[in-house]
Amino acid sequence: MGGTSLSFRDLILALAVVLVWGTNFVVIRLGLNALPPLLFASLRFTFVLVPMVFFLPRPNVPLSNLVTYGVAIGLGQFGLLFIAMNGMISPGLASLVVQMQVFFTIALSMLRSGERVKSYQLAAFALAIAGMAVIVAHNGRGATIAGIILTIGAAASWALANQCAKEAGKVNALAYVVWASLFSLPPLYLLSLWREGWPAIAAGLGHAALATWAVILWQSVGNTMFGYGVWAWLGARYPAATVSPLTLLVPIFGMGASALVLGEPLESWKIFAGLLVMGGLALNLFWARRKPRLVPVPETGAP
């Protein structure tokens, strides 16, 4: 386990991950223009698994840990997120709402460690909830209630995966993500076949252009293998409260990229909601790092 503060190298790695994750919401939206959401998620994890599974040994972690991580990331996070982004929530707002994973991650870590919640964490969570309330109040203008619920479910699943990665300890992070994908695929493909149907699957594959496959490759190599591999590596070395809040940068990149590439309007209420959510994340991050005031202790003589 590392210290409570990220080293310079690890901070650069974490920033690279959140940049990839933030701009990735635009990439997801482009992929959903061509593919049904669950098929898209299935193909994403197929290319994570193959061919790397033949070159990387299975990490020395309990099978239950790999299964839970794979299902949480594959079906829980990306299955739900892709369904939500298929017309129920805009890329910019999705990049914001999914950051609720920070609070779920900290809550799970506390449950496992027995640590008690602190007052500043409650205040941070209240700010984030206020931001969610602003988005809900504008139901239908960039997000529906169903889209928000699905995205929050994706955030909770991401938090569960974070806890699994932390409990896996110091393992080969890339091998961990690759082998866990083996357990992402069965529920994703089965639900795609059941929910979307073979005709939609065949049509999506048949109309997939070179750009579509490039999007899938970016999802598998850039977002999953690099992003989640590095995040799992960081999560095993630092406390959850140190690593997780750095994702407050994701909605900045996400909303900015969505506005620039897709023309998503940055209305004042979206900015206000973003400030509330990111304010909560920032409070959680910087309050935890503040140095306590030292109170001088009067000298006493020897007994």
Instruction: Render pLDDT for 141-192 as a digit per residue (tens, 0 to 9).
Output: 889 999 999 999 999 999 999 899 888 988 888 899 899 999 999 999 999 9
Number of domains in the chain: 1
Please report the pLDDT score of residue 288 as a whole number.
61
Tokens 């609720």 correspond to 100
Give 191's Cβ-side CA count (13 Å radius).
19
Please report the pLDDT score of residue 295 as a whole number.
44
Please report the pLDDT score of residue 291 as a whole number.
52
Tokens, residue 212: 């579509």
Instruction: Look up the domain containing 146 and give its range.
Output: 8-288
In a domain, 23, yes or no: yes
3-state SS assignment for residue 174: helix
Residue pair 226/48 in contact by the 8 Å Cβ criterion: no
Of 155, 171, 187, nearest in space to 232 by CA? 171
Comparing 248 with 126, the larger pLDDT belongs to 126
Of 51, 64, 52, 70, nearest in space to 183 by CA? 70
Tokens 């007994």 correspond to 303
Return all residues near 12 (Cβ < 8 A) that are at least 6 apart: none
In a domain, 297, yes or no: no
143 has which bridge partners? Answer: 89
Please report the pLDDT score of residue 235 as a whole number.
81
In tens, the pLDDT along 201-249 reads: 999 999 889 999 999 999 888 888 888 788 878 888 888 667 877 777 8
| Cβ atoms within 10 Å, residue 274 | 24
Please report the pLDDT score of residue 300 as a whole number.
36
In a domain, 105, yes or no: yes
In a domain, 276, yes or no: yes
- Quick one: pLDDT band at residue 290, thresholds 50, 70, 90? low
Please report the pLDDT score of residue 79 as a whole number.
96
In tens, the pLDDT along 254-268 reads: 899 899 998 888 889
| Cβ atoms within 10 Å, residue 24 | 24
Res. 69: pLDDT tops 90: yes
Counting residues of the chain whose pLDDT is more than 70, the rounded percentage is: 92
Comparing 165 with 81, the larger pLDDT belongs to 81
Segment holding 200, helix H or strand E: helix 198-207
In a domain, 300, yes or no: no
Average pLDDT, the chain: 87
Res. 298: pLDDT tops 60: no
**Distance (Å) of CA 264 to CA 95, 211, 220, 255, 289:** 13, 21, 25, 8, 35
In a domain, 296, yes or no: no
- What is the C-alpha to C-alpha distance for residues 274 and 255, in angstroms, rounded to an integer? 9
Mean pLDDT, to the nearest integer, of 43-63? 93
Residue pair 173/230 in contact by the 8 Å Cβ criterion: yes
In a domain, 301, yes or no: no
